Structure 1
């Protein structure tokens, strides 16, 4: 049974005449008769009584037409809804985000996105890096706000922008008076790091590795705010993204110092490579890139590997 056959039966029932229905449907009368007869054979019951003046529905035909109209109405509603989705008049977008990074990035983008696409429902999921990568790889989120490098073959991404990494030290620390500090000079310092599963932890470890030492880790935390509080309390030093250093630490702040190497991290929006990226997701990526000034290189395109190497 095909949708066109449902339409054919309904048209014949409404016109009560094969020829008039064929004219209305813009098909040949013999072709319409053949399709109706074929459907009746498949169903095993006649849908119409044929007579010289036209046709009349059988009892089975009355039931068939009633259901067929419901189905065709649902199909029409579905087509209209899909058209609205295609035109971004309605839909749903699930965005996964690193909690702290998302707290700084998304408030800039989400209001502009909602103003432009008020019919798109946006759902936010906050997870640490490892869980967020897993959700994105399984398609449980449409987009994930992450940082490079990403050890995830299942994901593609586009770059939003780059952000400098600073050194946070206790206010009374001798390094607090320096304009900049080479990372190698931190080899003997106690470090406070984020816990396993956090992407920024890997960035911090790689920075130390590139400088020729393994950090002496004295405390670990799941939250960058706690890391900074421990630094401010004199418990050690830490690397922090610039966006975090700029916010909310007036009461008891650590001191922030530039690193001589000017390291940075790269922010990306990632999605499942093998999955379908909706029009809403594409629109969110475009708007985010425009607001954050990223180059927007998709994985595998020129420029992406350079961003990946630089992000660590």
Structure 2
């Protein structure tokens, strides 16, 4: 019977491929450098092939090593799924859960719902990662994250999604701005003013434009922000007006700025939802999580 590589050996190889440094790879695997080096040597002896080119200046994988790394990732993910499946067969929403969240939702929603989540599921250990939607979707698909909390719609046909709430958009502007004199604003009026938005890559930009039926910013184009906080400060400094999710406004993002908000009479909203892999052994748990979040008053719908 052929002796097969161990999961430990494959994990060492994948870590080395990711870090390209023996010391950093060993640290990521919670092992000593000598232990990692010995494990990789054992793997090469077992396979009868050289997987790593070792020089004093850098670490490179051979073509065969790169191919084995790709297959090793699949094997390791399958082993993780086995462990998660066994864990999921016990208590619902317990153990480690790697949740990704986008920056325009995380700081404003999570502080409101996490206390109730911890109380309802005390055995759940939540690990959070904040990134833009594209990166989160890729990480969920690759198995680096279990689930993502983001704004919908977002193109990810390979993942399942569940809407858990809605978030409308409001106009934010200085109190002396012409639009501040109105009790509400028609989205068509926005095109006449310097509209500031998030930079490319943030789905909030596209969702805000779509909700207000705008093809893109007119006179404010080229003045882009990397975060909602920066966007608010730009408006507070008189550079223009902006569209903010009601979720952020109700969380106090405008505190101390003197800015005012006005509802948009004909604007739509963005949906807030969860995404996960259809193949995940914990998908039934994720559906339960979606149901739990939907029942929270804080996420029922910001208007």
Deviations 1:51-99 (A, max 9, x none): xxxxxxxxxxxxxxxxxxxxxxxxxxx99x9368522384211111112
Aligned length, in residue pairs = 217
Cα distance, 1:212 vs structure 2: 6.2
Deviations 1:204-263 (A, max 9, x none): 33345x346653314111101110111121101111101212214231132211112032
1:126 aligned to 120, 123, 130, which one? 130
1:239 aligned to 225, 243, 246, which one? 243
Unaligned runs of 5+ in 1: 2-77, 296-312
How far apart are the structure 2 equivalents of 1:213 and 1:113? 38
Deviations 1:125-150 (A, max 9, x none): 11112212222222322221111111
How far apart are the structure 1 equivalents of 2:93 and 2:132? 32
Q: Secondary structure at the match of 1:187?
A: helix
Q: Secondary structure at the match of 2:200?
A: coil
2:162 aligned to 158, 169, 182, which one? 158
Deviations 1:16-65 (A, max 9, x none): xxxxxxxxxxxxxxxxxxxxxxxxxxxxxxxxxxxxxxxxxxxxxxxxxx
Is it true that 1:190 corresponds to 2:194 in the alignment? yes
Q: CA RMSD of the aligned region, Å?
A: 2.7
1:28 is aligned to: none
**Runs of 4+ with >6 A deviation:** none
Unaligned runs of 5+ in 2: 2-81
Q: Secondary structure at the match of 2:137?
A: helix
How far apart are the structure 2 equivalents of 1:132 and 1:274? 17
2:114 is aligned to: 110
Q: Secondary structure at the match of 2:223?
A: strand
Further displaced range: 219-228 or 139-148? 139-148
How far apart are the structure 1 equivalents of 2:145 and 2:136? 9
1:101 is aligned to: 105
Contact 1:86-1:279 at 8 Å conserved across structures: no
Cα distance, 1:110 vs structure 2: 1.9
2:182 is aligned to: 178
Contact 1:93-1:281 at 8 Å conserved across structures: no
User: TM-score, normalised to structure 2's length?
Assistant: 0.64
2:290 aligned to 285, 291, 307, which one? 285
Q: Secondary structure at the match of 1:179?
A: coil
| Map 1:38-117 → 2, pairs under 5 A | 82=86, 86-88=90-92, 90-117=94-121
